[in-house]
Structure 1
Amino acid sequence: MRFFYYLVCFLFFSFSNAQINISQSKNDNDLKLTALPYYSFGKGLGLTSPDSLFQLNIRFRMQNRVTYIENDGENGAYDGQIRRLRLRFDGYVGNPKFLYAIQLSFAPGDVGEIKEGENLNIIRDAVVFYRPNNHWNVSFGQTKLPGNRQRINSSGGLQLSDRTINNARFTIDRDFGFQVHNINEYLDKFSYNFKAAVSTGEGRNSTDNPDDGIAVTGKAELFPFGAFAKDGTNFEGDIVREKKPKLMISGAFQQNNHARRTQGQLGNDLFEQRTMKSVLLDGMFKYNGWAAMASYMSRTTNENAVTINPLDVTQSNYAFVGNGFDYQLSYNTKKNYEFIGRYSIQKVGRDIEAFTPNTKQYSLGVTKYIWEHAFKVQAEINYDTLDYFDGTTKNNWYLRFQVEIGI
C-alpha cells in the first residue's frame, strides 16, 4: 500500500505543477496517445461538437490473408481468413487534457474460441487519459503495457504479416491498470522517454477472483540522434525515407507477481501461480529507405516453471520460460516496394525443454505500400526449424499473401 501512496503523491505533485500546453490544431484530430502508438497515415473520420467540448474520431482496419502451409509429416493445406478486423474510437470530453480510447476486435483470431465460463475477448483497449501537457501522459484502464517495440506497435504497422516467434511467446501485451509516461522527443537533438505501469498482471478482460499479486513494468527509450520523423518508431520500415540517420535504443523490465497464466498476461491457466520476470531490449535504425531492428526477450520464474494439477498428477502445464533474439533488415525503394528479411532464434528454458522445442525462423517478404501502412499488399515465405529434446527435428514452412486496408 505504501507504493500506491507514493504513486498518488507523485502524480498529484506532477499535475499540480504542470503547465497546461496541449498543441493541437483545430484541423488535427490525431491525439497521439503514447500508450497506444498505432500507425495512422490518415486521421480517420473525426467529429467535434460545435462548442469544442467533445471530440470523437473513428477508425477501422482489416487484414485479409490466404496461406499455403506445409508442416513436416503432414499434407499441405490452404488457410484463408480475416486475420484482424478492428474498430477504434478516440477523442476527448470537456477538455483535450481528458482523453479516451476504445478499440474493439471482431475477427475470430482476435476474439478467440468461445469457451464456457470464459469472457468474450471483444474489448482490446478501454482506457482514459489525463495529459496535462506535451510531456506527461497518465492512463487508467486496459491497454498495452510499455513492453517490447514490436508488440507496442500496431499490427497495422508491421512489415511482415505477423510478429516474431519470440514476440508470440515472451511479450507482456495488454493489462488493466495505471500507466505514467514522460515524453521528451525532439527531431534534431538527443531525446528520451520514461514509462511505468502498475497493473493486475492477469491480461485483458480478466474477471478471475482477485489476489494479492500485481505486475510492475518500467521502460526507458533513448534517441541519440533525435526522434524519428512522423513518429517513425511506431511503424516498421523506413517508408518516410529518413533524411538523417535515426536510432532508438530501449529497455523494459516487468515483474508479474503470482501470475496465473503460462505467459503472464497471455496463455492458458497454470495449476499454480508463478512470479515471472521479463527483460525486453530493442534497437531500431532508419536512414534513406533502409531500416534495421534487433531485439532480445526473456522470461524467468521464481521456481520451477512446470505446474502439476493437485487433483490429477498426470496433468501438468508450464510457464513459458526462455529467451530469444530477433534480427530484421529491409529496404524501401522510391516506388514504395519494400524487401524484408528476418531471422529469429528462440531457446526455451531448462525447466520446459522436454515439453517444447527450440526454434529458428527465417522470413522473406515483399510489401507494396499503396497508401503507406494504411493500404498495402504483402507477400512472404516463412521457414521454421524445430529442434526437440529427444534429438528429432521438424521443418515447417508457409507462403502467404495479405492485403491490409484502413482509415
Structure 2
Amino acid sequence: MNFKYFLFIFCLLFFSFSFSQEDGNNIKLTALPYYNYGKGVGLTSPDSLFQFNIRFRMQNRISYLKDEDKDAAYEAAIRRLRLRFDGYVGMPEIVYAIQLSFSERDVASGNKEERINIIRDAIVFYRPDKNWNIGFGQTKLPGNRQRINSSGALQLTDRSINNAMFNIDRDFGLHTYYLNEKTNQFSYNIKTAISTGEGRNWTQESDNGLAYTGKVELFPFGAFEGNGSLFEGDITREQKPKLMLSGAYHFNEKARRTRGTVGTLLFDQKNISSLLLDAMFKYQGWSFQAAYLSRMNNDPISVNPDDNTETTYVFKGMGTDAQLSYLFPTNYEVVGRYSYQQPHSDIENLHPTTNQLSLGVSKYIWEHALKLQAEVTNTQLDYLNNNDQSNWYVRFQVEIGI
C-alpha cells in the first residue's frame, strides 16, 4: 500500500512539473493558504532573483471571566504575536513562506509535555502555472474553513469550540493544490496532503504511519471578491451572491495524540478519521457560515500498560457551528455564533456535551489588519452526572498587522 501511495506522489509531481510555463505568470502569495490585506515591507534584488517580504501581527486582549463555582477574574494577555516572511528565490515560481510565533500560548511553553515551539510554518512551493501549487514542508493541512483562515481574519476573538476540538492543524509533508477560481462562473479547488500525522515540529519517536488529507471546494456562483473565502465577514460587500461549499476527509494512521496532529500523547497508537464540512455565503454585507466536524475511531480509550488505572482518550464525536453577521456602511459589524459539541457514547462519561453562544461587535479600521473587537460568550457544559456548568466571559481585543 505504501508503494502505491509513493507511486501516486511521483506521478502527480511528474504531471505537475510537465506543464508549460505561461508567459508573464504573476505569482501571487495570496494563493497560499493565508489572508493578506497589506503587502508588508519587503525588497527585491536588482536582478529579480530574490524577493523578501516581512509581515507582523499581534492580538492584545483583556477578558473578564466568570466560571460557575469560581471567583470572577480578569485576564490580560498578548494572545498572538507573529512574524511572517515570504517571497521567492531564483525565480517567481519558487515561493517560500515562514511564520514564527512568540506569545506564551502560541509557543506552548506553559505545557510541560511540550518544548518551546516557535515555528508554525516553513514551506516552499513550486508553481508551474497559475493553477498548480506543490509544496514541501510544514503548514496548515487543508482542513476546516475556519482553521485554514488566519486567526487574524476572524470576526470573533477566537475560533469556535469545535475548531479547537476537531481541527487537523499543521503537519509536515507534501501539499498539492489545484486552484481553479474564476470570478463569475462555477469554480473549484482540489487540495491534498500526505504528511507525517504527528503535528508541527515533531521530534519524538517516529513511526511508519502517515496522514492522508483531501479536500474539495466548490464555488457555484464564482469565486469571492478579493479572496473572500479566506476571511470571515463580507468586508468587500459582494455585489452578487457568492457561495462556497467544501468537504475534507483526513485519515491519520497510527496517530500518537488524542486529536491526531494535536493534543496530549496517547499510551498506544490509534487510527483516526475526520470529516470536515463547510458552507459560506456572502452578499451585500451579510455573511453566513456553517460547519459540521466529526472525528471517528473504533477504540478511543488508551490505557497505560504500566498502570491500568491511568487512561486518556481520543475525542470521538461531532460538532456543528452556525455564524451570522452584518457589516454596516460605517464598518461596524455585529456577529453571532452558536456551537454545539457532542461526544460519542463511547466517551460521554468522560467529556460533557457543550453548547456555546457568542455575540460580538467589531469596528474595522483597515479591514482585518486593524480592528477593534468586543465579545460576550456563554458556555454550557452538560455532564452525565448532572453536574452542569455555565461559564461566561466578556472580552475586548485589538488586532493590528501589516
CA change 1:33–1:189 in 2 (3 A) is closer
Spell out the pairing of 1:158-237 with structure 2 (5 A cutoff).
158-237=154-233
User: Residues of 2 paired with 1:289 and 1:41: CA distance?
Assistant: 18
Aligned to 2:153: 157
Aligned to 1:317: 312
The amino acid that maps onto 1:320 is F
Deviations 1:121-175 (A, max 9, x none): 1000000110001100000000000000000000000000000000000000100
Aligned partner (choices 7, 13, 35) of residue 9 of structure 2: 7
Spell out the pairing of 1:8-407 with structure 2 (5 A cutoff).
8-21=10-23, 23-24=25-26, 30-34=28-32, 36=33, 38-113=34-109, 118-301=114-297, 303-407=298-402
Q: Is the 8 A contact 1:297 1:324 kept in 2?
A: yes
User: Residues of 2 paired with 1:155 and 1:119: CA distance?
Assistant: 22
Deviations 1:332-368 (A, max 9, x none): 0011000000000000111211111010000000000
User: Residues of 1 paired with 2:277 and 2:22: CA distance?
Assistant: 33
Q: Is the 8 A contact 1:90 1:101 kept in 2?
A: yes
User: Residues of 1 paired with 2:114 and 2:377: CA distance?
Assistant: 33
% same residue: 58
Structure-2-length-normalised TM-score: 0.97
The amino acid that maps onto 1:336 is N
User: Residues of 2 paired with 1:232 and 1:23: CA distance?
Assistant: 22
Q: Is the 8 A contact 2:193 2:212 kept in 1?
A: yes
Q: Is the 8 A contact 2:30 2:36 kept in 1?
A: no
SS in structure 1 of the partner of residue 306 of structure 2:
coil
CA change 1:311–1:110 in 2 (3 A) is same
CA change 1:113–1:49 in 2 (3 A) is same
CA change 1:12–1:334 in 2 (3 A) is same
CA change 1:338–1:8 in 2 (3 A) is same
CA change 1:241–1:142 in 2 (3 A) is same
Range 214-223 or range 345-354, more displaced: 345-354
CA change 1:22–1:382 in 2 (3 A) is farther
User: Residues of 1 paired with 2:11 and 2:23: CA distance?
Assistant: 22
CA change 1:389–1:207 in 2 (3 A) is same
Q: CA deviation at 1:33?
A: 3.5
Q: Is the 8 A contact 1:22 1:132 kept in 2?
A: no
User: Residues of 1 paired with 2:12 and 2:269: CA distance?
Assistant: 31
CA change 1:345–1:240 in 2 (3 A) is same
Q: Is the 8 A contact 1:248 1:285 kept in 2?
A: yes
Q: CA deviation at 1:3?
A: 1.3
SS in structure 1 of the partner of residue 346 of structure 2:
helix
Q: Is the 8 A contact 2:109 2:117 kept in 1?
A: no
Aligned residues: 400
Deviations 1:310-341 (A, max 9, x none): 11111110011100000000000011000000
Name structure 2 gaps, 5 residues minimum. Answer: none
User: Residues of 2 paired with 1:187 and 1:235: CA distance?
Assistant: 17
Deviations 1:226-272 (A, max 9, x none): 00000000000000100000000000000000000011011100111
SS in structure 2 of the partner of residue 263 of structure 1:
coil
The amino acid that maps onto 1:239 is I
User: Residues of 2 paired with 1:360 and 1:385: CA distance?
Assistant: 5
User: Residues of 1 paired with 2:24 and 2:388: CA distance?
Assistant: 56
Q: Is the 8 A contact 1:119 1:206 kept in 2?
A: no
SS in structure 1 of the partner of residue 245 of structure 2:
strand
User: Residues of 2 paired with 1:182 and 1:175: CA distance?
Assistant: 19
User: Residues of 2 paired with 1:9 and 1:225: CA distance?
Assistant: 32
SS in structure 2 of the partner of residue 220 of structure 1:
strand
Deviations 1:286-319 (A, max 9, x none): 0000000000000011x32011101111111001
The amino acid that maps onto 1:261 is R
The CA RMSD measured in Å over matched residues stands at 1.2
User: Residues of 1 paired with 2:112 and 2:323: CA distance?
Assistant: 40
